[in-house]
Amino acid sequence: MKFISSLSLFVLVVPLSSHAVLYSAEQLYTVNQDYAKCLDVTLGNFKSDGQAQKAMSKFYREITANTDKILELQLQANDEVMQTFLEMLQDRQILLGYMVAKMSEPDKAFEVEKDEQKKAFYFDWKLVNQELWRTNGCNAIYRSLD
């Protein structure tokens, strides 16, 4: 668990060598955060569990693809921290898996917002998820996925 926590820190603080690479990696990270928020509140927003699972699968697929791009950008920039993690794990797919696991979690601000909504909706998880789905624009985000 300590490793995953450390991994989340490196994603936020790893300096990249070129501004263009930094911009792209940061942009992908921001998109992943939007997907993670929607992923977190998917249940309760579809007519069936099967439809919700299909939606979750789409969000995971996009998070994985974006995270793979982030990893590639950082490796192309010869990022020392990323190289160290890759050497430690000895496999790019394992490193990608750890990164996807961390990037699939919404940020702390979203968790605070979710806690506030739980109180406002008397801990009715479905209403909370529906409200957060709506306020985070998840319908539009989901429809944009193929």
Which two tokens mark 20? 């263009």
Give the chain's domain count.
Answer: 1
- Find the domain containing 120 and state its range: 2-11+18-144
Q: What is the pLDDT of residues 14-64, one digit of tens each?
A: 443 334 455 689 999 999 999 999 999 999 999 999 999 999 999 999 999
**∠ CA 62-108-1, rounded to 5°:** 75
- DSSP per-residue codes, 80-93: HHHHHHHHHHS-HH
pTM: 0.83
